[in-house]
Each structure stands twice: as C-alpha cells, then as structure tokens.
Amino acid sequence: MELLKEKIRQEGIVLAGGVLKVDTFLNHQVDAGLMMEMGQAFAELFGEAGVTKIMTVESSGIAPAVMAAYRMGLPMVFARKRKSLTMQTDLYTEKVYSYTKQEESEVTVSKKFLEQGDRVLIIDDFLANGEAALGMARIVQQAGAEVAGIGIVIEKSFQAGRGKLIEQGYRVESLARIASLDDGKVTFV
Ligand code: G4P
Ligand code: NA
Ligand code: NA
C-alpha cells in the first residue's frame, strides 16, 4: 500500500534493536483517514475469503481492524490483554509470549463472540515474531472456528513471524513489508 509506505518513509523513526516507531499515525496518535484506506485495502484483499468476523488484539490493532470491519460490513472483536471486571467466565484464553517485551501475557475473548463455523480474519498492527497472531489463531481454533486469513499493517519481514504463520497454512497479507531497519533506514521488501 503506497500511501502507508510513504507515511512510514516520512514519519517512521527507526529505533535501536530493529524497532520502528510510528506513534504519529498508528501506535499512539491515529490517522483516521489512513486507517480507512487500510480498511479498504484489507476489504479488497479478503473480500472473497468468506470472512464472517474480524478479530484483533488490543490496543493498536483496533483502529485498522474496525475500519476493515466497517468496509466489509462485519462485526469486529478484540482480544483483551487484561481480564475485565465484567468478563470473568466463559472465556477463551491463550498465553502469548513476546520476544520484544520478554514477557508472557494472556489474551482472552468471551465465548459469546466466536462461534463454531465463523471464518475469522485476524488483523494486527505489527507482525514481528508472530506470537500475537498465533495466539489469536489458537483462540479461533478453541472456538471451533476457522482462520480465513491474517492481515497485517506493518510486517517486519526480517523477523520470523511470516514464516511461522505460512508454515501453519495461514494466508498472510501485509500492507507494508519491511526488509530491513539497518543503519537507521527503512528498506521495503
Ligand atoms: P509478535 O506478536 O509478532 O511476536 O510481536 P512481539 O511480541 O515481538 O511484539 C510485542 C509488541 O510490540 C506488540 O505490541 C507489537 O505490535 C509491537 N511491536 C513489535 N515490533 C514493533 C516495531 O518495530 N514497532 C512498533 N511500534 N511496535 C512493534 P503490543 O504490546 O501488543 O502493543 P499495542 O498493540 O498495545 O500497541
Ligand atoms: Na503494537
Ligand atoms: Na498489536
């Protein structure tokens, strides 16, 4: 997606350790117009995939996921990282290990929002090692539903995530694929 790549070129800041800071439009402040274009791009990519529901994980996946849901006319559910007070039973729960943060967290989705037979499009802001997407895919499986595909805003193609998801048989579509962040410079695939 050329508009997204241009935004990354203009506003992305390369941090140490292969991390791209994009807090001006994705991870803190949000560019709603750009999000809507992303939603349209996901709708075009997955329009024929028989998707019945869109799923992401809080917090930064929510903006692109909700725009895709709007464009596709589908419900969107986000996995929570902390159990809410009003959400204590009838949950699907999976552990997700983050290499970037060196910590394990739990993601949960209420059983009432995923059904057997659902075809779920998983959307996330970043794909690094793939653990968040794999955790969501395990929740989809717990529900007896199917993963229709995985849509990513920014893929760090120099990390293992894409390979792991492809190996599991998932279709992965990323709006921007970054080959390298070496020398403080963004190089796209
Ligand atoms: P993985 O799911 O692909 O294995 O990724 P990992 O655990 O390494 O990533 C942990 C968190 O860091 C995730 O956000 C992920 O989106 C984010 N992240 C990974 N690489 C980058 C990067 O280069 N730049 C930025 N900006 N974020 C990156 P999170 O903890 O779920 O936070 P949020 O969704 O609340 O923003
Ligand atoms: Na994130
Ligand atoms: Na995320």
Please report the ipTM that was assigned to this predicted complex: 0.94
pTM for this predicted structure: 0.96
Closest CA to 49 of 157, 115, 183, 146: 146
Average pLDDT over residues 31-42: 98
- 32 marked ligand binding residue: no
Q: Annotated binding residue at 129?
A: yes
Please calculate the CA angle 22-176-55 and round it to the nearest 5 degrees.
Answer: 80
In 3D space, the residue among 57, 81, 38, 47 whose CA is nearest the CA of residue 134 turns out to be 57
Q: What's the DSSP call for residue 52?
A: -
**Is the dihedral angle over the CA atoms 179, 175, 56, 64 positive or is it negative?**
positive
Relative to the alpha carbon of 123, which ligand is closest? 3
What is the number of alpha carbons within 13 Å of residue 121 lying toward its C-beta?
32
Query: What is the structure's pLDDT at 67?
Result: 98
**Share above pLDDT 70 across residues of the chain, in percent, rounded to a whole number:** 97
Given a cut of 70, whether residue 17 has pLDDT beyond it is: yes
* pLDDT bucket at 43, cuts 50 / 70 / 90: very high
In this structure, CATH architecture of domain 2-188:
3-Layer(aba) Sandwich (3.40)
Ligand 1 pocket: which of 25, 55, 126 to mutate (most atoms <8 Å of CB)? 126
> Which of 126, 140, 104 has its CA nearest to residue 181?
126
User: Band of the pLDDT at 101, cuts 50, 70, 90?
Assistant: confident
Give the chain's end-to-end CA distance (angstroms, integer): 12
| d(C-alpha 12, C-alpha 186), whole Å | 8
